[in-house]
């Protein structure tokens, strides 16, 4: 058996229609896992599933709003019934917001909270419950470097990712005896379609200049790639990481510790 093998495992990845989630789903499928994608964007979900299947992997998708607990519970019940057990849960779905405490409106705050915090809670409640019933599993939450440090104008987003970090610690502690591990990765700035859209929307007259500026904000001198987060996720969800739980791993080009 090769290292980081996931053959025979079922992995649920939320928000896997694009970016980091799609990269994680693709890498897990390549390593032999059957991947269940939870998405709100059906076209994006179909694209990821199609790419996985074209490469010889196994995947399916379900439309799911992670902020709605009844919906999440129903989807997880269906997956557990079809697949018999859930081995891996990756809580990736999330939204961003730019603003400080004074210019962040209540509606924006609630929207970020509902997806990034309540959504993770809902999926933890459903996924950890299934794992506890079936003898264990692995949870990986996608937090952020802003859960470990401050940057400008990310008040609500930082709040939400700080909650993801502490939910990681709590879940790891509470379910040690149920053979459930829980860790998180804290990506820095990763080059995803969101970043391109953000630059185009906010800096339409100097896209290239802003891309270079944001890239060089990382000490390593560039943005990360979704695949680089995915390989870290693969390690933490593999049996090779069986002695690791309750940890936060920056995947950030040195942003947290050597900036």
Q: Which of 61, 121, 157, 249 is catalytic?
A: 157
Residues 94/83, Cβ–Cβ less than 8 Å: no
Largest distance between two CA atoms of the chain: 55
Classified as helix, coil or strand, 99 is strand
Active site residue 203: no
Whose tokens are 């379609």? That residue is 193
Query: Nearest-CA neighbor of 80 among 38, 13, 133, 31?
Result: 133
CA distance linking residue 123 with residue 92, whole number of Å: 10
Residues 236/183, Cβ–Cβ less than 8 Å: yes
The residues assigned a catalytic role are 157
């Amino acid at each position: 058996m090769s290292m980081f093998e996931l053959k025979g495992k079922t992995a649920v990845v939320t928000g896997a229609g694009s970016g980091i989630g799609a990269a994680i789903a693709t890498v897990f499928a390549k390593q032999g896992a059957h991947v269940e994608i939870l998405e709100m964007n059906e076209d994006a979900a179909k694209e990821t599933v199609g790419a996985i299947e074209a490469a010889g992997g196994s995947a399916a998708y379900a439309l799911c709003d992670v902020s709605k607990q009844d919906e999440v519970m129903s989807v997880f019940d269906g997956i557990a019934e079809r697949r018999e057990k859930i081995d891996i849960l990756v809580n990736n779905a999330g939204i961003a917001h730019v603003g400080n405490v004074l210019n962040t409106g209540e509606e924006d705050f609630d929207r970020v909270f509902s997806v990034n915090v309540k959504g993770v809670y809902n999926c933890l409640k459903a996924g950890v419950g299934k794992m506890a019933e079936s003898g264990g599993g692995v949870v990986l939450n996608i937090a952020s470097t802003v859960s470990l440090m401050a940057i400008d104008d990310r008040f609500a987003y930082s709040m939400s990712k700080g909650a993801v970090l502490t939910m990681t610690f709590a879940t790891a502690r509470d379910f040690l005896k149920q053979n459930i591990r829980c860790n998180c990765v804290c990506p820095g700035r990763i080059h995803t379609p969101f970043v391109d859209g953000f630059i185009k929307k906010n800096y339409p007259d100097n896209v290239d200049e802003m891309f270079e500026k944001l890239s060089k904000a990382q000490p390593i001198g560039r943005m990360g790639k979704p695949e680089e987060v995915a390989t870290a996720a693969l390690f933490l969800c593999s049996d090779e990481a069986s002695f690791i739980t309750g940890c936060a791993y920056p995947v950030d080009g040195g942003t947290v510790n050597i900036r």
